[in-house]
Amino acid sequence: MIGDALSFPRTGDDWIPTLVIGGVLSLLSFLVVPVFVLQGYFVRVLRAAVDGETEVPSFTDWGTLLVDGLKLFVVNVAYSLILAVPYFSLLFALGFSGDGGGGALVLVLGLVVFVLALVVGYFVPAASANFALEGELGAAFDFGTIKSATFTSDYAVAWLLALVVGFVGGAVGAALSFLLVGIFVLFYVQVAVYYLFGRGFAKGIGRRGDDAATTATTV
């Protein structure tokens, strides 16, 4: 799976223009709008991975990319709210820990925030993949489907591989950022990571690559 993920960004006839556009949009992220376009593109990568497509998607239909990116942002914010209460409780406890009486509370709340962050980080890619597959925002909160996908070894392995690829590739990209080429490396890595999330979700719900591709072709 990891080999497919690392080669996926180099598939298709126009993968080089796609890589260039993705890198340029990353450079222009300070303008905000490119961030949402990129997020919309990653939704497209998720959909391609779930459907078992063998070529990396192109930057086309920019309006749809922008809208999908905004929807993905909403999904991420909604799931992040799960962390809001324990996180702000932790900040509050930190403010009163100076007298020596709140150390244990800070430790417990810190552990709760850490565990919840891991849980949210584990489920959000599946929620995003289901949204990408169905094309509806509500699909990101279809907890039955999300649970059936995430409670499988296929998804767990893909998620762990995505973490490894993201960490190692991110470190390489960051190290090369001063040459600007690192920005394009980081975009390449992100495509590979989202591909892994999509394939893991697809396998988790029993949607195998060949079957998905056949279904997409015949519809």
pLDDT per residue as tens digits for the range 16-26: 999 999 999 99
Mean pLDDT (the chain, rounded): 88
Q: Can you tell me the distance from the alpha carbon of 46 to that of 101, in angstroms, rounded to the nearest whole number?
A: 47
Whether pTM > 0.85 for this model: the answer is yes
* Residue 196, in any domain of the structure: yes
* Residue 40, in any domain of the structure: yes
* Residue 9, in any domain of the structure: yes
Confidence (pLDDT) at 99? 53
* Residue 149, in any domain of the structure: yes
Decide if pLDDT at 214 tops 60. no
Over residues 24-52, the mean pLDDT reads 96
Q: Can you tell me the distance from the alpha carbon of 201 to that of 209, in angstroms, rounded to the nearest whole number?
A: 11
Confidence (pLDDT) at 1? 85
- The pLDDT-based confidence of 217 (bands split at 50, 70, 90) is very low
Is the separation of the CB atoms in 188 and 18 below 8 Å? Answer: no
Range of the domain at 15: 2-78+144-218
Higher pLDDT, 2 or 87: 2
Burial annotation 97-122 (CB, 10 A radius, 16+ → b, else e):
eeeeebeebbeebeebbeeeeeebee
Confidence (pLDDT) at 41? 98
Find tokens 């702000």 and name the residue.
Answer: 88
* Residue 91, in any domain of the structure: no
Per residue in 159-193, pLDDT tens?
999 999 999 999 999 999 888 899 999 999 999 99
Cβ-based neighbours of 22, under 8 Å, separated by 6 or more: 38, 41, 59, 184, 187, 188, 191
Over residues 66-75, the mean pLDDT reads 97
Over residues 77-102, the mean pLDDT reads 71
Q: State the total domains in the chain.
A: 1
* Residue 201, in any domain of the structure: yes
* Residue 155, in any domain of the structure: yes
CA dihedral sign of residues 20, 174, 177, 6: negative
